[in-house]
Chain A
Amino acid sequence: MEEEWQWIQQVLSGDKQAYAHIINKYKNPLYATVVRMVKNPQDAQDLVQEAFIKVYSQLGKYERKSSFSSWLYRVAINHCMDEFRKKHNRLQHVEMNEEKAPNTEHPEVVFLKKEKNRQLEKLIRTLPEEERWIILLRYVNELSYAEISELTGIPVSHVRNKLHRAKKKMRETVKREGGYFDELSNDR
């Protein structure tokens, strides 16, 4: 995007503050993905911070041969993947705090949503690492199957299969265990 290219040029000509635009645009999707891989909010925040520092240091090397978002995710998520693998054994599992949602709906609706959110988080956690990455990169970072394939090194046909398998698995778990989420998984 032209706007992003302008920000990059501003940063490269010494305007460090212009980098805030880039951070603000990508920080939340990046964090939302990383926090579900490391499962510890503080570790996730630290990793995302490091990732943005890395992206900043590499910014001069972006040549517009791919979209900036895919380039940025490549640098940032690769960094997080590496660190995640390194730290995997020592990271502690911490339950994520529930976000405060603006309470504008009927209390019962809010409660049902909370239950469903919790159930979805649990389902995501039970997925194997590879499938979890794919679900997150697809839904949170909105990458194409080809971009996910480039990023993870998994062939694109496998990415498609794994995404399908992951969702099927989630639906089956819900069906087996029941819960609020299963209203969407009723088979015919």
Chain B
Amino acid sequence: MNCPTIDDLSKYTEQLLREEEHALIQNHVHSCEGCMRVVDAFMEEKRFIKETLKTPVLPNEFAHLVLDQLEPYKQPTQKRRKVRKPVMLSAAAAILALGMSAAFNPGFAEWIGGFFSTGEVDEGLRLADEAGYTEQVNVEATDNGITFKVAEVLADSSRIALSYQILKGGKPQDTKIEIADSKNKFLAFDQNGREIAEMGTGWWEGSDYGLIEFSLREHGALEKVTVKVELVEINGKEGSWQLEIPIDMTAAMSSTERISLKDAHTDRHGVAVTMKEVRYAPSSSDLLYETSFTKEEQAKVKEEIQRLGQKLGKHNVGSLASNGTAVAYHIENDEGKVLYHNNGQKYSFKLEDSGGLQSSGREAGGVGHMAWNDSFIPLKDRQNLTFVLDGVLKKVPSDFSVKVNMKELKKNPLSFEYEGNHLTIKKVKAKNDYSLRKSVVPVERETNLVIVMEGGREEHASELGSWVLVDDKGKAVPLFGSQSLLNEKDEKGRYIMKAELRTDQQMEDIPEEFTLYLTDVTRYYEVKDKWKVPLY
């Protein structure tokens, strides 16, 4: 065979030739030094193009920027879920939520005696450190010139916290560890090898130290915990950093006082509250209680769900069966001074101002039955504390609907009010988008309807839930999208609300007229004659 043209050799390296042509050239190239050189050059060119075009890259925190804008998919019932706006211990960098402030001076922690003694950690950890629960461990692993060092461990019955440093040539580096990428792992196991999965990390720009924390609040008595560090990438460098840190939990466990609240019980506005236990640990005080619908209320709610399901389709009201009850309360001392409070409302619950550390709830079986675990910063001195019920919240089916006429809407935006929510439908538009319900390629486009609303919400107004659109032919379509409440008030003193709802099914045209049905609403009921439970 004569030498192929340059063009053919180029096509050969790009696998653009037919099979038989490719095989012919392959045979030739192996026996022709000149052609081999050209193919090598083309391969080098290809490698160079690939390598060069794969940069630039996005910053490490990009994933968090995206995640911050997403709502979790709705979980099936019975699964653990976090309801309020607490520190989400399973999330990376979640501990940041508690607001770490100023940058940290290099060497400062050593000078004053350790990271847990600084204002860079939450007050609970600082108090536990002061009480002597910190152990200096200083274990480290080094690879590729980078050292990962665990400096201190602080353990009590509510959590295990570890401070760490990343060092290069002995100098502290940026402490951010990417754990969203599953290859880097911080793991903890109890004495029976069961994993303690509630983990969070915290890092601060400019700080020499990072924080790893495991929550033990959902775990029973622990004798021993082993923390394993398995890192494969630090600050963009690959390597292997592995550490195993055994922690004896005996002293930590005995440092906690547990007081049974003997199932103290009350029913208010259809919500039953049962107090379970209070735990005073060195780094956190935890209150455990359950909320549920009363029997009568539960029967009523079930009946309404059924009625609504018949009207709008069972699958369109499915989310109503999950969660549903919560309480607002405060904790005061003997002098009536409020030390902690929890207003129970997702949107305006400011954990950092309430003395709170975290709040989580899981569905405990049955419509509206929730088991709560709220943690607060411990007090320096023990005081007699009392739980005071301020109000109850319940998520119930709603009978609210609003009719939209497109011709009229084009002339004037449509405003409505429902239980303290003042909203205006600004725009209804058809949006042509890719449908991936039929995920076989090629993907087809489909038209969805987008409804844009804006307005304001009064202080204790009900919280609006999901919406269903029923068109002029009676077809019911669920609406998805976001409803947000800003921590900012309008000129009428209402919290600013914005919602963009969209159908998730093909809509041929915008119907001339349609009705929006609100399927559920979370209502707040104040408890006027305060119900009190001593926490001592």
In angstroms, Cα B16 to Cα A36, docked, is 24
User: Which residues from chain A sit less than 8 Å from chain B, CB to CB?
Assistant: 11-17, 19-21, 23-24, 27-29, 31-32, 35-36, 41, 45, 48-49, 52-54, 56-63, 65-66, 70-71, 74-75, 78-79, 96-97, 99, 116-117, 120-121, 124, 135-136, 139-140, 150, 153, 160, 163-164, 167-168, 184-188
Q: Are B75 and A14 in contact (CB under 8 A)?
A: yes
Q: Which residue of B lies closest to A161 (CB)?
A: B16
Extra inter-chain contacts (20) besides given A24-B178, A140-B54, CB under 8 Å? A14-B74, A16-B67, A17-B180, A20-B180, A24-B63, A32-B56, A35-B56, A36-B53, A48-B58, A49-B66, A56-B70, A61-B435, A61-B439, A62-B439, A70-B441, A75-B443, A78-B443, A116-B52, A120-B49, A168-B10
Residues of B at under 8 Å CB distance from A? 6-7, 10-11, 14, 16, 34, 38, 41-42, 44-46, 48-50, 52-58, 62-67, 69-76, 79, 81, 90-92, 178, 180-182, 434-437, 439-443, 480
CB within 8 Å for A12 and B70 given contacts A17-B90, A61-B439 = no
Q: Give me 29 A-to-B residue pairs in the complex whose CB atoms sit less than 8 angstroms apart, sorted by A's number.
A: A15-B72, A19-B67, A20-B181, A21-B180, A21-B182, A23-B67, A23-B180, A24-B178, A27-B63, A28-B58, A32-B53, A35-B56, A49-B65, A60-B73, A70-B441, A71-B439, A75-B434, A75-B436, A75-B443, A116-B52, A120-B52, A124-B53, A139-B53, A140-B54, A150-B441, A150-B442, A153-B442, A167-B10, A184-B41
User: Could you tell me the distance between the alpha carbons of A116 and B67 in the complex, rounded to whole angstroms?
Assistant: 37
Q: With A31-B58, A79-B434, A124-B53 in contact, is A65–B439 under 8 Å at CB?
A: yes
Which of B16, B38, B56, B57 gathers the greatest number of chain A CB atoms within 10 Å?
A: B56
How far, in angstroms, from A19 to B70 measured CA to CA in the complex?
Answer: 10
Contacts of A139 in B (CB 8 A): 46, 49-50, 53
What residue of chain B has the Cβ atom nearest to residue A187's Cβ?
B6
**Quick check: A140 and B443 within 8 Å, CB to CB?**
no
Q: Once the chains bind, are A32 and B54 in contact (CB under 8 Å)?
A: yes
Bound-state Cα–Cα, A45 to B81, Å: 32
- For the complex, give the distance between the alpha carbons of A2 and B146 in Å: 32
A121 to B44, alpha carbons, bound, how many Å?
Answer: 17
Q: Kindly state the separation between the CA atoms of A24 and B75 in the bound complex, as whole angstroms.
A: 24
* Minimal beta-carbon separation of A79 from chain B (angstroms): 7
Chain A positions within 8 Å of B7 at CB level: 164, 168
Q: Are A66 and B63 interface neighbours, CB within 8 A? A: no
Q: Which residue of A lies closest to B440 (CB)?
A: A65
The B contact surface, by secondary structure, is loop
CA distance A100 to B14 in the complex (A): 30
List the A residue with the shortest CB-CB distance to B49.
Answer: A139
Q: In the complex, what residues of B have CB within 8 A of residue A41's CB?
A: 56
Residues of A within 8 A of B71 (CB): 16
Q: Which residues of A contact B440 (CB under 8 A)?
A: 63, 65-66
* Residues of chain A lying within 8 A (CB to CB) of residue B52: 116-117, 120-121
Interface pair B62/A27, CB less than 8 Å apart: yes
In the assembled complex, how far is the CB of residue B114 from the closest CB belonging to chain A, in whole angstroms?
30
Chain A residues whose C-beta falls within 8 Å of the C-beta of B81 in the assembled complex = 14
**A97 in contact with B53 given A27-B62, A74-B441, A163-B16 (CB within 8 Å):** no
Alpha-carbon gap, A168 to B7, bound state (A): 8
Distance in Å: Cβ of A4 to nearest Cβ of chain B: 11
CB A116 to nearest CB in B, in angstroms, measures 7
Bound-state CA distance A48–B65 (Å) is 11
- Tell me whether A140 and B53 are in contact (CB under 8 A): yes
| Contact across chains for A99 and B437 when beta carbons are under 8 A apart | no
**CB-defined contacts of A62 to chain B, threshold 8 Å:** 436, 439
Task: Knowing A13-B75, A70-B441, A184-B45, say if A29 contacts B181 (CB, 8 Å).
Answer: no
**Chain B residue with minimal CB distance to A51?**
B66
Q: Which residues of B contact A58 (CB under 8 A)?
A: 434, 436
Residues in A with CB closer than 8 Å to B180 are 17, 20-21, 23-24
**Chain B residues with CB below 8 A from A74, complex form:** 434, 441, 443
With A153-B442, A163-B14, A164-B16 as given contacts, are A13 and B79 in contact (CB-CB < 8 Å)?
Answer: yes
